[in-house]
Structure 1
Amino acid sequence: MNVSTKTGTPHIPLIRANVLKGFVTFLEEIGSPTQHLLVNAKLPPSALHKTESLLPFKQVIEFYAKAAYEAGCEYFGLLVGQRTQIADLGAYGRLLCQSLTLHDAINKGIHMIPTYTSGEWYWLEEQGERVWLCRNFVHGLDAGLQHADHFSVMLSINLIRMAAGQQWRPTEVHFKTQHAPGLKSFEPLANAKIHFEQPATAIVFPRSLLSLPLQNKGNHQDIQRYKDYELLHSSAPATSFSGSIRQVIAPLLREQQTDIQVAAELAGMSVRTFQRQLHDLDLTYSRLLDQVRFEQSLRLLLDPDIKLVNIASELGYTDAANFTRAFKRWTGLSPTEFRHLRWKM
């Protein structure tokens, strides 16, 4: 297996919030305090409702670990992965489910993964009659990944089972993380030769499966497919520090968690390093907040059905008057005047 590496990337790795769905459902079923765990991992509770929003990958992994501890489950990622369907992954999952064959689904998944996450990537290797579906993380996300590692293996198995049937099992599995002796007790891995502490995560399957049609393809209409593609590409995780920090800050606005200490922690930096990074971009933190609020306000004002009071709340303002004053400072127009001008264009 050739190991692909990506190092030195300056962006903050992000992932879509719908990756939490299965974990949250499991926690709710056993009565664990989901909201408390999210707050402890510095994730906005609103992510449970805004499932296509972007979250810092490191905080998502931290949530997995805290949730596993709360549930008292060493193999939490595997259990949740067993229960998670590809369609649960929002627009990305729906598009994969509409693929013609397993080969089509895997290639589509590899091509589109940058629209879903900037923290990991997939690739396919063919070695004679065996195929490796491989996955790795960007540099700096190697620690504390057991549950994410296990979860991703189960998602790969579930994708292949959409073509090969629910009884299919891999013959060989490579985990990036450390030895876990109890994995053989999980039905999907019962027949697999398992290797730990590998340079990448991978599952092995016969090449002949690639041509099999997907058995439970989605039946979404063309208009829904277009909307899903548009959503993913228009809101894809940024691959620059400037773009990704804006995407990190946006969901913090509605939670009114805009303190620079919070933003720096989510960026994985000290406050001083964070300020130095902003200085290199000719920015201060207050100026960055203004830019993010302005960009979000333009997007929200284009929807005539969203009330100004709701826009103000989304941007972290305590009342609509504060938002109006800020918007006039940015544009010279009130939000209402701006909308009227847009509607006339």
Structure 2
Amino acid sequence: MPKQQYNRPIGLIKTAQVKKFIEMLQMIEADIYLIIEKVGLPDKVLNTHHPYIPEIPVRLLLSEIVEACGLVSYQKICWLACRQLFIPAMLEKISEAKNLQQLLEEFIEIIKNESTQVELSIEKNVDKTWLVRRKKWSDEPWYLYAELFSTAYLIELIRALTDKNWLPEELAIQSSDVGAFTQLILCDNPNIRLIKVYRDRGGCAISIPQDLFNAPFKHHYGWIKPTREKDAPTDFVGSLIVALPPYLNEGKLAITKAASIIGMSVRTFQRRLDELGTNYTSVLEEVQLQEAKYYLQHSDITITTIGVQLGYSDLSHFSRAFKRLSGETPSHYRLTNQCKERTSKIKLMS
């Protein structure tokens, strides 16, 4: 395998998006905490400060939703969740768009940070324009569930800006189950016209009439222009350092658990790190250090408790490791950085 292949990032999904998928569990009155544990999501996923969650547990979450309520109910929930949860939150992130085409172009850039394994594009094919979603194909059930959700999502995005009953004339899917997508459309409105569905394609895509691209988009009253979010990591180790922190509060994170979280065998995981000139111990220490710094600066949790939560056996072990990695003791870091933070707040208030 070429080195650039070893360095490809793992799949990440914005935590805010993951929480919305968990809200879908509430729509079917499922046991949220039991399923969170079963699929391998962090136990504090609902109140974590971390921006990303690994994609693998979210795939399993979709399968659990379908198992709990059935495919037809899942399809109905997809429409409801897109309208009430996902699309309104997405439109809050749009900063400059004045018409549909500009919005879709900005949406494509935003999605790069929302779900790092999804690629979106606007493509022209002969006399038609398509909004295309590409994701690595899988024959596992979760892929069909994800593609059904994405289809509802893309259609609802256009509806939010044009006509609430709008449907594309044509739909292309990577899956082969045309019936599932026909049912998706019918369960939203049984009296609506059926659309043409092309299966086994290179991406999931909806056709958009050219005249819709100039449809105006207006921000709601009181809308505040969002600040640009930090880009997601584009390398393997960088994405690991983002993916693993939500799991640290569960104690020392064993390599077997870390490998499972990102959907790899331990052997493959170790080999990729070795090819990139590092190892799991070094990556874990970097993750523990950044977490320790966060809690030392932003909380009043005792230094002993912070060390235990991050997997250190005792205070002295944690203090030695922190000083070796950062050049200062935890107590000194807390004192200097909390002082800096208080000074910054005072300046902002004055």
TM-score band w.r.t. shorter chain: 0.7 to 0.9
Which deviates further from its counterpart, 203-212 or 332-341?
Answer: 332-341
Paired residue for 2:347? none
Q: Which residue of 30, 35, 38 corresponds with 2:36?
A: 38
Q: Residue 131 of structure 1: SS of its match in structure 2?
A: strand
2:279 equivalent to 1:284: yes
Report matched runs for 1:81-96 at 5 Å.
81-85=79-83, 88=86, 93-96=91-94
TM-score (norm 1): 0.82
Whole-angstrom distance in 2 between the partners of 1:90 and 1:295: 32
Report the 3-state secondary structure (helix = DSSP H, G, I; strand = E; otherwise coil) of the residue aligned with 1:169.
coil
Note the aligned Cα RMSD (angstroms). Answer: 3.2
Deviations 1:151-197 (A, max 9, x none): 11111111111221212122111121121423342336743212222
Q: CA deviation at 1:287?
A: 2.5
Amino acid at match of 2:198: H
- Distance in 1, matches of 2:240 and 2:154, equals 30
- With over 3 angstroms needed to count, the CA separation of the structure-2 counterparts of 1:19 and 1:294, relative to structure 1, is same
Q: Which residue of 2 aligns with 1:3?
A: none
**1:307-336 deviations in whole A, cap 9, x for unaligned?**
243855764568877644542343343323
The separation in 2 between residues aligned to 1:16 and 1:183, in whole angstroms, is 26
Question: Residue 122 of structure 1: CA displacement?
Answer: 0.3
Matched, 1:266 2:269: no
Normalised by the length of structure 2, the TM-score is 0.81
Q: Match of 1:204, SS?
A: strand
Q: Distance in 2 between matches of 1:214 and 1:319?
A: 57
Percent identity over paired residues: 24
Say if 1:99 and 1:105, in contact at 8 Å, map to a contact too.
yes
Distance in 2 between the 1:121 and 1:296 partners?
Answer: 30
Equivalent position SS for 2:97: coil
- Match of residue 212, structure 1, among 212, 215, 222: 215
Structure 2 portions without partners, runs of 5+:
344-350
Deviation, structure 1 residue 91? 7.0
Partner residue in 1 for 2:46: 48
Residue 13 to residue 80, structure 1, CA distance change in 2 (3 Å): same
> How far apart are the structure 2 equivalents of 1:293 and 1:89?
35
- Equivalent residues of 2:7, 2:237 under 8 A apart: no
Contact persistence 1:17–1:52 (CA under 8 A): yes
Give, in whole Å, the separation in 2 of the partners of 1:90 and 1:54: 20
In structure 2, relative to structure 1, the CA distance for the partners of 1:159 and 1:184 (3 Å cut) is: closer
Q: Which runs of 5+ in 1 are unaligned?
A: 1-6
Structure 1 stretch displaced more, 72-81 or 318-327:
318-327
Q: Write out per-residue CA displacement over residues 243-273 of structure 1, whole angstroms, 9 at most, x where no aligned residue.
A: 1122221111123361211111223322122
The 1-side partners of 2:100 and 2:92 are apart by 14
Deviations 1:83-125 (CA, angstroms, capped at 9, x unpaired):
3248637975521387322112100011222222211110002
Contact 1:135 1:202 in 2 (8 A): yes
1:132: Cα distance to partner?
Answer: 0.5
Give the equivalent residue in structure 2 for 1:221. Answer: 224
Count residues with an aligned counterpart: 328
Secondary structure at 1:55 match in 2: strand
Secondary structure of the structure 1 residue equivalent to 2:13: strand
TM-superposed deviation, 1:33: 1.5
The 1:220/1:307 distance shift into structure 2, 3 A limit, reads: farther
Q: Which amino acid aligns with 2:215?
A: L
User: Which structure has the bigger radius of gyration?
Assistant: 2
Cα 1:271/1:52, change in 2 over 3 Å:
closer
Q: For 2:29, give the aligned amino acid.
A: G
Matched, 1:121 2:116: no
Deviation at 1:147, TM superposition (A): 1.2
CA distance in 2, matches of 1:52, 1:329: 25
2:242 paired with 1:247: yes
Counterpart of 2:112 in structure 1: which amino acid? P
CA contact (8 A) 1:11 1:244 kept: yes
Give the equivalent residue in structure 1 for 2:110: 112
